[in-house]
Amino acid sequence: MIENNLLSIIIFAPLAGALINWLIGGRLRNEMFSGLVACGSIAISTVVAFYLAFFAHGGALFIKEPILDHIWTWINVGGFRADFALGMDPLSGIYACFITFVGLLIHIFATGYMKGDSGFYRFFAYLNLFMFAMLTLVLADNYLLMFVGWEGVGLCSYLLIGYYVKKNEAREAAKKAFVMNRIGDWGVLMGMFLIFTLTGSISFFDKTVDGEQVTSVFSFVLANMQAEPFTWGAIVAGGLTSVGVLMFIGATGKSAQIPLLTWLPDAMAGPTPVSALIHAATMVTAGVYLVVRSNAIYQLSPTAMWIIAVIGAATAIFAATIAIAQNDIKKVLAYSTVSQLGFMFLAAGVGAFVVAIFHVMTHAFFKALLFLGSGSVIHGMHHEQDMRKMGNLRKYMPITFITMFMGWLAIAGIPIWAGFFSKDEILYKTFAADKYFQNGYFPGNEILWVVAVITAILTAIYMTRMMVMTFWGTERYHDALPGEAHHNDLHAIDDDHAADHALHNDDDDEHHHALPHDFKPHESPWVMTVPLIILAFLSTVGGLIGIPYAMSSLPVVSSIVGKEANHFDRVLGPVVAEVDTPAAIKARENAKAHSPEAITTERWLAVLSVVLAAIGIAIGWFVFRISPLRKMPRILEEKWRLDEFYNGYIVDPLTRLSTVTLWKGFDLGFIDGIVNGIGSFVVALSSGVRRIQGGFVRSYAAFIIAGAVLVLGYFVYFGARLIG
Amino acid sequence: MEFISENLLTLLILLPVFGAIGLIAHQMFWKQEDHLKWVTLGITLLIFVLSLLLLNSGTASSAGFFFEKNVPWISAINTNYHVGVDGLSLWLVILTTFIMPIAILSTWHAVEKKPLGFYVFLLLLQSAMIGVFVSLDLLVFYLFFEASLVPMFFLIGIWGGANRIYAAVKFFIFTAIGSLLMLVAIISLYFLHAKATGVGTFDYVTLLGTISNGGLPFEPITGTLLFLAFALAFAIKVPLFPFHTWLPDAHTEAPTAGSVILAAVLLKMGTYGLMRFCFTLFPDQSRELAPIFIVLAIVGIIYGALVAMVQPDVKRLVAYSSVAHMGFVILGMFSFTEWGMQGALFTMLAHGVSTGALFLLVGFIYERRHTREISEFGGLANVMPIYATVFVITAMSSVGLPFLNGFVGEFMIMLGMWTSSALAVTATVNWNYIATMAAGTGVIFAAVYLLWMIQRVFFGKVTNEKNRGLSDLSPREIGLMVPLLFLMVYMGVYPRPFLDRSREAVVQIQERVIKQAGGTIDRADSMQPIAVEK
């Protein structure tokens, strides 16, 4: 067992930063101080995380055993043990590295973006608190501590979405996010109870604590449990499949999958760095982490995996169709995130756990880039988010344009950019699910593949539309939107500081300002562009650490990177449990064999997907370059009216039931009716003796005491007589 | 010093009474009304410090009680002044002495009429509450149980809100009906014991001994009726659905200090009574009737949360949330697992701290605006940022966010219910799982009603001009919230001191209930995972 106390620094540095900013930063109100504390604490975490992941004890990513750190025993009651203890294995190592690094860049970006905001210190306190919770989530060494982080990120997300407290949509969105997450949390809790009753443990790693041997959930499952049948009945049988489904309910909440997806787009009401950090790069991928972390359980529950794959694919295409019709630049990216998360779950569902994490990482790079880029655009446009009022920004914001261009290529799936390798792997693994799925048989994988391919085309189209509307075309900064002619005038009256966006009025809200007539967008300061450049670099080359064998074995490629270029797979491979069912063994052999047919198929599919991506970009370019304001189908613009459906069929009836039936009907009507009935009966009865009810407190007291003495005396007297 | 530790519990019971007499005397001779609160605060602080000596417990008596004192009282009916604490009552006593100074500080500027009576009643109430938790004689317990009713009745009836008379009478009628039944049961026990052994007794420890020796066999119907008489008294106090309708009225009309004490301590007398008396005196009946209580608890959890969601009045909302939380406590107790029962006890404490804090916070805003209607507020975070921060933290603790105190208890309760064997396990359905899943939805609803209220009260722009000039929390108000906030975090992060001290007592009760089932003890350490053969 390798122990290293440095591990706790990774989580406690941001916590300390949060506390310092909250307690001292609030007094000082000095942006330099708050920014330095916030970024400094994350920088410490980043350095320690990379040191432990790559160097200490040979590097957590490269050694067989996890690095552990027991901090204190949290709950230990009657055989149930939950430690506050951390562990870093390749999975949590990768997560910790990209969370701290991307987090650091976003913190730096935010010091520029939030400049002049009166809640500056509060914003960074929350942001640091979020980092604490997120790192606790991924570094926790048991389900319960993971759940602490899981709820913690939910809370921080609530606080940060609602950061602009005066914005109505912000507070609505904050509540909605928290509640939808909570619905998912219910699943995680129940799953945790079930896994504990099945295995007697909630720990992720085998370890010795206080002289006590703790067996991990997964060792127990691998040693003692069998694969479950592929039936609907397995879901409610109370075995591993039930665990898998319950945990996945949690994942749908946190990672915004069908049916709990509507909170994420609304969450865009928060500041843009928050959208980049929480709602794109880190928190929303926690669901994928949970599934991959529990892969030993999932490999034995084919039904649960199949459900994950189907929900993932369905979410991917559903969100992509909505993204294509949104006009708010952040909404496009939000739906795009939901769609990409669907891809990750599709990968996990077909058993390609490593690929799912690969896509989590590349997505963290290019989606953080795109969000920060959009933040830079919004900053330059004086908080205008509607793409219909943008256009030709590449002239004014060249760095933002070029960096976002890289992100565009990455997400669309153009070779060598990061998104290409991860997405292509997902498509291939889905297509060939029968071969690599740990349970041998995967019904409907071809359909899922078609869905995924269509989604990939849609992705290229909506991203192109976004780029075209923002960076090309005519400058529409002063155009009134259809039906919103008065909108601007109202704002102009509202807002005394329209001319100077750095000087927010006392509202400290991110509402956009009416633009002066000589308005020209401007490029953002270096604290914002440098993180963009770094992320653009990572989005461009970050995928090269995971080049699949089918491509690295091409003579041209292997001469540069070598034949075994999938470093990512090599590092994360051990995370996937080696289940010893015949089907799983076969699947592993298939994956190692690299048969010529498989390689050929994978290469042709890669060619196909590049062609399709190019077609998507071409469609997007030709359609929206000509008419950027083309009206999109209304049903898509209104997000398939899912919110209306939820409100009409769940929220409103429940509120009505609570008010009319339960409260006014049962409580006030029925129970109190009985009580009051008895009451008025007694009153009527006692109206004869009204004279003694003088209404004086003293006489009430006297009566009560006298009554008590009488009752007591009676019992003392008769009781004594009875015993005699 | 020797004297103090010998008579610690008696001192804790009597000091408030002496304090009350002192207050009256002070008022008679000096007539300085503004001294009263200082004197009361001093007395309650002294009691709190004294009560901490309980943690320094010596050796237990044979029955597992510490600081035991047993002297004859009315020898004609063989009733003794018998007091003692164990792990079950220890924290509840300290919770009582801890919450009193805070409650008194909260009334600093709020009591305008008859301050003397107000503080005298508060002190008498404290005496009665401590008495309830330490009595080991059923008759003495009953007297304290009833005695706690009277000061509360007057606190609501005299210093309450507009509809105070209705609320006070309702409170009185509900609880008095229950406790009268309990009195009948206590007396019946006395005579049954007399019939079986020749000596009637009210002594809890003696009764326990006789029952576990099989010396006091009940007819099944007698046992059930006795159990129900006790249980009803306690269920009304908790309050368990459907006996809960007195609670929202009492809470809404009571003065802030009254609400705080009501939520923090008085409700716990019900759950404490169930665990202390119903479970141990009637283990078979407890087990047989557990499904009814579990169902009512779950209904209460969901019902309380749903109704809380649509309340227009903040205080009423918090009151209904209490119904939901206490449902969790009942659920945990009736799971008869160590986890569930420990969790129930822990939730009692956690609820006392966080719901007490919520009522204080509601009181702060009421003192400023003289209304509690949610629709009257909006955007308070802009004018009262400290208040908003404290409120959100407290609400999160009530919602059950991990690392705050609400989570530990609720988690253990649900774990206990999940692993329980209180409900049937058939070939296809494990009803204990279903019960836990149903109760778990309460966790979702808790987030809904509290966050929705916070959203409407604190966020957004200031819509009502009356709220624009509100002052943020004063140093006194912050000062009395700080210990509560500290406890919320401490109990959530490091719950072990609390759990460790109560373990022995709780496990004893649990074993008593389970053992009668036919010998096998469902201790947690006997719970081995089900290994599936390959």
pLDDT digits (tens, 9 = 90+) for B468-522: 888 888 898 898 899 999 999 999 999 988 888 888 888 888 888 887 544 444 4
Binary contact (A77, B440; C-beta < 8 A): no
Binary contact (B309, A80; C-beta < 8 A): no
- Please report residues of A whose CB lies closer than 8 A to that of B246: 675
Q: What is the 3-state secondary structure (H, E, C) of A25-74?
A: HHHHCCHHHHHHHHHHHHHHHHHHHHHHHHCHHHCCCCCCCCEEEEEEEE
Binary contact (B117, A716; C-beta < 8 A): no
* Listed residue (A115, A130, A121, A133) closest to A22, CA to CA: A121
Is the separation of the CB atoms in A120 and A34 below 8 Å? yes
Q: Is A224 on the interface with B (CB under 8 A)?
A: yes
Closest Cβ opposite residue B415 in set A80, A171, A678:
A80
Binary contact (B495, A158; C-beta < 8 A): no
- pTM as predicted: 0.88
Q: Which residue ranges in chain A fall short of pLDDT 70? A: 482-515, 679, 682-724
Binary contact (B415, A663; C-beta < 8 A): no
Binary contact (A701, B77; C-beta < 8 A): no
Binary contact (B146, A158; C-beta < 8 A): no
Dist CA B16 CA A701 (whole Å): 19
Binary contact (A720, B401; C-beta < 8 A): no
Q: What is the pLDDT of residues A419-478, one digit of tens each?
A: 888 888 898 888 888 777 877 788 888 899 999 999 999 999 999 999 988 888 888 877
Please state the separation of Cα B454 from the chain's center in Å: 25
- Please report residues of B whose CB lies closer than 8 A to that of A662: 303, 306-307
Q: Which residue of B has its CA nearest to A657?
A: B306
Count Cα neighbours of A529 within 13 Å in the Cβ-side half-sphere: 12
Residue B491's pLDDT is: 92
- Please report residues of A whose CB lies closer than 8 A to that of B402: 147-148, 151-152
Residue A488's pLDDT is: 45
Residue A689's pLDDT is: 54
Contacts of A665 (CB under 8 A, 6+ apart): none
pLDDT at B361 over 90: yes
Q: Which residue of A has its CA nearest to B397?
A: A155
Helix (H) or strand (E) holding B73: strand B66-74
Helix (H) or strand (E) holding B72: strand B66-74
CA distance A87 to chain B (A): 19
Take residue B275 and report the two structure tokens written for it. 């665990």
- Please report residues of A whose CB lies closer than 8 A to that of B382: 165-166
* Listed residue (A421, A164, A308) closest to B382, CA to CA: A164
Please state the separation of Cα A490 from the chain's center in Å: 36
Residue A685's pLDDT is: 62
Q: What is the pLDDT of residues A645-668, one digit of tens each?
A: 788 778 888 888 888 788 787 878
Binary contact (B310, A226; C-beta < 8 A): no
Residue B61's pLDDT is: 60
Closest Cβ opposite residue B436 in set A80, A193, A722:
A193
Q: Please, which residues 588-627 of chain A have a Cβ atom closer than 8 Å to chain B?
A: none
Q: Is A197 on the interface with B (CB under 8 A)?
A: yes
Give exposure, A352-369, as e/b (b: 16+ Cβ within 10 Å): bbbbbbbbbbbbbbbbbb
* Listed residue (A393, A397, A396, A388) closest to A488, CA to CA: A388
* Listed residue (B494, B8, B178, B221) closest to A76, CA to CA: B494
Average pLDDT, chain B: 86
- Please report residues of B whose CB lies closer than 8 A to that of A675: 170, 173-174, 245-246
Take residue A290 and report the two structure tokens written for it. 């949970």
Residue A687's pLDDT is: 62
pLDDT at B273 over 90: yes
* Preferred mutation among A21, A71, A75 to probe B, highest tally of B CBs within 10 A: A75
Dist CA B145 CA B222 (whole Å): 24
CA distance B4 to chain A (A): 31
Dist CA B510 CA B60 (whole Å): 19
- Please report residues of B whose CB lies closer than 8 A to that of A163: none
Dist CA B176 CA A652 (whole Å): 39
Q: Which residue of A has its CA nearest to B399?
A: A182
Q: Which residue of B has its CA nearest to A184?
A: B444
- Compute the count of residue pairs across chains A and B with CB atoms less than 8 Å apart: 187
CA distance B388 to chain A (A): 12
Strands A207-209 and A80-88: unpaired
Strands A207-209 and A212-214: antiparallel
CA distance B379 to chain A (A): 7
* DSSP string computed for A63-131: SSSPEEEEEEEEEEETTEEEEEEEEE-HHHHHHHHHHHHHHHHHHHHHHHHTTT-TTHHHHHHHHHHHH
CA distance B6 to chain A (A): 30
pLDDT at B533 over 60: no
Q: What is the pLDDT of residues B202-213, one digit of tens each?
A: 989 888 888 888
Give exposure, B378-414, as e/b (b: 16+ Cβ within 10 Å): bbbbbbbbebbbbbbbbbbbbbbbbbbbbbbbbbbbb
Closest Cβ opposite residue A720 in set B76, B337, B419:
B76
Binary contact (B529, A220; C-beta < 8 A): yes
Q: Is A723 on the interface with B (CB under 8 A)?
A: yes
H-type alpha helices, A580-696: 582-593, 596-626, 634-637, 642-646, 652-656, 672-686
Closest Cβ opposite residue A662 in set B76, B307, B524:
B307
CA distance A190 to chain B (A): 7
* Listed residue (B151, B123, B156, B120) closest to B45, CA to CA: B123
Residue A348's pLDDT is: 92
Q: Is A175 on the interface with B (CB under 8 A)?
A: yes
Q: Which of the two residues, B318 and A233, has the higher pLDDT score?
A: B318
Is the separation of the CB atoms in B398 and B355 below 8 Å? yes
* Preferred mutation among B179, B193, B245 to probe A, highest tally of A CBs within 10 A: B245
Q: Which of the two residues, B250 and A668, has the higher pLDDT score?
A: B250
Binary contact (B402, A152; C-beta < 8 A): yes
Q: Is A685 on the interface with B (CB under 8 A)?
A: no
Q: Is A510 on the interface with B (CB under 8 A)?
A: no
Q: Which residue of A has its CA nearest to B525?
A: A79
Q: Which residue of B has its CA nearest to A508?
A: B382
Sheet hosting strand A2-3, strand order edge to edge: A2-3, A67-77, A80-88
Residue A83: C-alpha distances to residues A209, A541, B125, B363, B493 (Å): 9, 39, 41, 38, 11
pLDDT at B528 over 50: no
- Please report residues of A whose CB lies closer than 8 A to that of B528: 200
Q: Is A511 on the interface with B (CB under 8 A)?
A: no
CA distance B2 to chain A (A): 35
Dist CA A340 CA A456 (whole Å): 10
Residue type, B440: G
Which residue do the tokens 């509840």 mark?
Answer: B92
- Please report residues of A whose CB lies closer than 8 A to that of B235: none
Q: Model ipTM?
A: 0.88
CA distance A212 to chain B (A): 14
Is the separation of the CB atoms in A76 and A142 below 8 Å? no
